[in-house]
Amino acid sequence: MVNPRHLPVAYRFALSALLVVLLALLFLVYFGVHALYQQMGAQADKEAARLNRLFTQALAEPLVRRDYNQLTDIIRTGVHQGAISHAELFGVKGQTLVRESHEPGLDAGRPPHVSVMQAIAEESPYYLTRTPILLRAIPYGTLEFAIPIGYIYTARNALVTRFLLTGAVVFVLSLSVFVLLGHLFDRKLRGIADQIEGGHLQRRSDEFSHLADSFNALVEKQRRDQEALRRARDELEQRVAERTAELARAKNAAEAVSGALTVSERRLQESQRIAHLGQWELDIQNDRLHWSDETYRLFEIDREHFAASYEDFLALVHPEDRAAVNLAYSDSLANKTPYEIIHRLRMPDGRVKFVREQCRTEFDGDTPLHSIGTIQDITMLKEKELELELARKSAERASRAKSLFLANMSHELRTPLNAVLGFSELMRLDGDLKPEQKSNLDIINRSGHHLLQLINDVLDMSKVEAGKTQLEPEELDLGALIRDVTDMVRVRAEKKGLQLLLDQASDFPRFIRGDGPKIRQILINLLGNSVKFTDQGGVTLRLKSIHQDAGWVTLHGEVQDTGRGIQPEDRERIFQPFEQLSDSPDQKGTGLGLAIARQFVELMGGEISVASQPDKGSTFYFSIRVESSRPDQIHPTDEQEPRRVIGLRDPSHQWRILIADDQLENQLLLRQLLKPRGFQVRIAEDGIETVQLFQQWHPHLIWMDRRMPRMDGLAATRKIRELPGGDQVKIAALTASVFKEDKEMVMEAGCDDFVRKPFRPHEIFDCMARHLDLDYLYEETTVDESAGSTTSLTPEALAALPAPLLEELERAVTVLDVEQTQTVVKRIAAASPDTAASLGRLVEELNFQAIKSLLESRTANTP
């Protein structure tokens, strides 16, 4: 090994200068890299602290509410903005709630770093930190996130590499230069020494000039190296600035997230205020209750005046509800289940609020930690419920009042009508009556039945509106029913000179199971309405059917007429109760026919509609659903007119009949109906007297009126059934009620049968025959061939009458004056008895429209 001391002086000088340059380079590299490390580490620490603060603030409220969707959105936004590479949110038990990471292999159990410089010292690729999330000093979870610090290593490696390369180049160049300079200096020195020895001292200055140039070149090289180092530093500073800008953008994104969270929280609070929905949380271990602002507003107290404990909350609950609220919460804790309860709060001024409270509790094993819940003001809802309940009770009272009114009206109207029809029927049976008297009785009887039909229409409509109308299906002969209806309506149609046609499909069923009276009522109302508003032409009834599964049949019907038609604005109104066409001259009736038909059709699962053209006619369409049936299921009925009972076939048997009724006219009617036929009759005017006469007289049958003073008919029936022999006597109820449930009530009281007022004589005798096994004697009837022999009334027959009589008749008919019209008809009888008889029948039927039409036709045909 060469000893430096043995080197020439020039080489030793060059080696010393080279060592000085090398030390300077090492010093510069070390302190430059260290300074930049410190600067970048401090900047990263500040950024990490700011991100930590932003994230913990943003995550606190959603974490308390357990809004995992919002927690996920916040963390995902932070990770995908590039500021962090890993974020994970832990619950109070250490369970992962939300995780978003670009580092799937990151160890969740790795301890966090104190600072970025510690992470750099550990050669970690990221800076890892964990921070507890607190709200009102209560921990709700822990946030862990990692910031990548690879850019620091990259910058460091690039800087060190650049410095080392530059130093190596400088070192090699310096070595070469110093070796060359040493060599040249040595040669020069040797040359100078030789010159000195040779006496050539004048060239020494030129040689030193060359040495100076060499030193200048070395300085220039060092300057260039310093410029390269400066550029490397500038590049590093630029990269730091770019990273700082990225961190600033991440900061702005975090601030945007924080702003959005603030807006969301403000909107949530506003929504809670609008919905009167408050939040609360109970720290069970510390008995600390936390309320939202809306909860304080709901309870109408200030934060300063509330101790925020469970007992203080219970003190605000209505005293009558405290036990129920406490029990609900205790059961919830015991069963680890949520609960919901509606209870009352007592306000500071004494007012009462209704609230709906919901709660669930978090547990650590069997230890309850936090109870989280909501409380909503439902006072207005409860007030509405109370109003609806009062309205319901009011409607029920109104319905009961209506039912009572219907029952009273039925009784008060049908009871006297029973006497009118009954006595008129008895008087008609008197063979000594003059023809004029019999005609007057016929008018009374027809008017009574017309009044009964009006009453039935009103009661039918009222029953429908009260929901008391029910279908009573039975096996029936639909063909016979249609024949009866058409025969009945055909008489009215022919009196107006109209045709009534029946167009029935070949497969239309004859035998069905349905509500016969309601089907009859539908057909009568529709056909009668068409006949009523048709002056010429005719009415056609078309029927067809569609068979369905399970034995059901849909019947389709059309009633088409050539009448006046219906205006478009009136087509729906005609189906409303008590509505009649304002431009119609025929205003007889109640206006309930079509309304009842519609209700009955809909009750049988069908629908009804109308198509019409003014002055051309109308067509009513309807459909109903019925069950199919077989002929062997139809019970035969006697379609003949009931015969008149004149007595008993075995008069030796004394049948005792007790009449229990407080109305004198009803007593007289039944007495005159029964006593002449051989029955023994007694009268009881109330229920108590009925029971006493039963014990004393032992009747075979009792006609029991339902409404009587002191004791009504039902109570009297029950009392009689409890007495000895009470199970043997037959009791038939006589009532003006029209409700089905009333019949059921009567039968449950112990009655054997049920007859409605007003009754026909044959209904009384048929009922007695069924229960007493009676055999009657009937009157032999003969057909009066001349009874219906009258000359048909025509315009020509009227035209033959004297003009003054026709003028008086027209005036009387126009003002609907019945008495004046009858007076004029009597005067016409002197000139034309047949014409007077025909006019008299029209007057009896109150058919003034037919008389008026004949008069107008007579005027039109007069030349």
Question: Which residues lie across from 553 on neighbouring strands?
Answer: 547, 626
Sign of CA pseudo-dihedral 9, 15, 18, 22:
negative
Residue 719: pLDDT band (50, 70, 90) is: very high
Q: For the segment 173-197, what is each residue's pLDDT rounded down to a tens digit?
A: 766 776 676 666 666 656 655 654 5
Domain boundaries defined on the chain:
9-157, 272-383, 470-628, 645-778, 791-860
Q: For the segment 88-109, what is each residue's pLDDT rounded down to a tens digit?
A: 888 877 778 788 777 666 665 6
**Does position 585 have pLDDT exceeding 60, yes or no?**
no
Q: What is the CATH number of domain 272-383?
A: 3.30.450.20
What length is written for the chain? 863
Choice between 685 and 646, residue whose per-residue pLDDT is larger: 685
pLDDT of residue 721: 92
pLDDT of residue 639: 44
Helices 803-814 + 848-861 axis angle, to 10: 140
Helices 833-844 + 435-465 axis angle, to 10: 30
Nearest-5° Cα angle at 105, 101 to 108: 80
Choice between 355 and 84, residue whose per-residue pLDDT is larger: 355
Of 665, 738, 713, 707, nearest to 452 by C-alpha is: 738
Q: Which two tokens stand for residue 691?
A: 């029971």
Coarse DSSP helix, strand, coil percentages of the chain, rounded to the nearest 5 percent: 55, 20, 25
**Does position 373 have pLDDT exceeding 70, yes or no?**
yes
**Does position 344 have pLDDT exceeding 60, yes or no?**
yes
CATH architecture of 470-628: 2-Layer Sandwich (3.30)
Residue 81: pLDDT band (50, 70, 90) is: low
Helices 516-532 + 478-495 axis angle, to 10: 20
Choice between 394 and 343, residue whose per-residue pLDDT is larger: 343
**Does position 861 have pLDDT exceeding 70, yes or no?**
no
Average pLDDT over residues 30-49: 72
Average pLDDT over residues 58-66: 75
- Which pTM was predicted? 0.37
**Rounded Cα distance, 280 and 277, in Å:** 10
Q: For the segment 417-464, what is each residue's pLDDT rounded down to a tens digit?
A: 666 666 666 666 666 666 666 666 666 666 666 566 556 655 655 555
pLDDT of residue 586: 47
Answer whether 9-157 and 272-383 agree in fold. yes
Choice between 215 and 352, residue whose per-residue pLDDT is larger: 352
Q: For the segment 295-313, what is each residue's pLDDT rounded down to a tens digit?
A: 888 888 877 777 777 888 8
Which CATH class name applies to 645-778? alpha beta
Q: For the segment 808-817, what is each residue's pLDDT rounded down to a tens digit?
A: 888 887 766 7
Residue 720: pLDDT band (50, 70, 90) is: very high
Average pLDDT over residues 581-610: 70
Residue 785: pLDDT band (50, 70, 90) is: very low
Which fold does the domain 9-157 belong to in CATH? Answer: Beta-Lactamase (3.30.450)
Cis amide bond preceding 758, omega within 30: yes
Q: For the segment 698-709, what is each residue's pLDDT rounded down to a tens digit?
A: 999 999 988 888
